[in-house]
Amino acid sequence: MKRWSLTALPPSSEKRTPRGPRDADRVPRRDGQIPRVLFTAPECRAVAIELRDGEAMGEHHVRERAVVQVVRGTVEVTASGETVSCDSGTLVTFDPHESHSVRALADSMLLLVLTPWPAAEHYTDAETAHARDLPAHAFAPPLPPGG
C-alpha cells in the first residue's frame, strides 16, 4: 500500500532542475500550475496540481480520460460551453480529447487522475522507451509506513 496526504503536501517549488536526457515530457508547467506526479501505472497516473488565486490552466485537452478532484480551494471549470464553480470536494470528469480550462478562484489544489496511462497515442515513438522516467523534482513520494 502507498498513501499520500493531499492536504499535507508541502508547497511545490519551482522546477529549477532541467529535464534530463532520459526524462519524457510530463504535464508541463503552464499558466502557473505546478504539477507533481504521485503515482504512475498502466491503469492510471495521479497528479497533484497547485494553482494560486487567479492562476489558470488555459484551454487544453489530454488524450486520456481526466478525473479532477478539488482537494482544497475553489476553481472555475469551463467545458462544452458551460462554466461552473467547483469547491473542495467536487469531482469533475472529462472525456478523452475534451477541451476544458480551469481557473483558481482561491489558492487551490487539484488531484488529477489520467486513465489509462498513457493513452495509446500519448508519446511519440522516441519518447516511448523512457515513458516511465520522471525527473526527481516532478513527483511527491508517498508517506512512510505508519507515517
- Which DSSP category does 141 fall into? P
The amino acid that residue 77 corresponds to is V
Task: Write the CATH number for 37.
Answer: 2.60.120.10
User: Tell me: the pLDDT tens digits for 46-61?
Assistant: 999 999 999 999 899 9
Instruction: With respect to residue 132, please indicate whether it lies within any of the assigned structural domains.
Output: no
Instruction: With respect to residue 111, please indicate whether it lies within any of the assigned structural domains.
Output: yes
Number of domains the chain is built from: 1
Predicted pLDDT of residue 66 = 95
Instruction: With respect to residue 79, please indicate whether it lies within any of the assigned structural domains.
Output: yes
User: Tell me: the pLDDT tens digits for 30-43?
Assistant: 455 568 889 888 88
Instruction: With respect to residue 107, please indicate whether it lies within any of the assigned structural domains.
Output: yes
Quote the domain boundaries for residue 74. 27-120
Quickly count: other Cβ atoms within 10 Å of residue 24's Cβ: 20
The amino acid that residue 46 corresponds to is A
Instruction: With respect to residue 102, please indicate whether it lies within any of the assigned structural domains.
Output: yes
Instruction: With respect to residue 108, please indicate whether it lies within any of the assigned structural domains.
Output: yes
Higher pLDDT, residue 23 or 41: 41
Q: Model-level pTM?
A: 0.74
Q: Which helix (H) or strand (E) holds 128?
A: helix 125-128
Phi, psi for residue 102 in degrees, rounded to 5: -135, 135
Contact at 8 Å (CB) between 27 and 61?
A: no
Predicted pLDDT of residue 32 = 54
User: Can you tell me the mean pLDDT for 12-26?
Assistant: 50
Q: How confident is the model at residue 26 (pLDDT cuts 50, 70, 90)?
A: very low
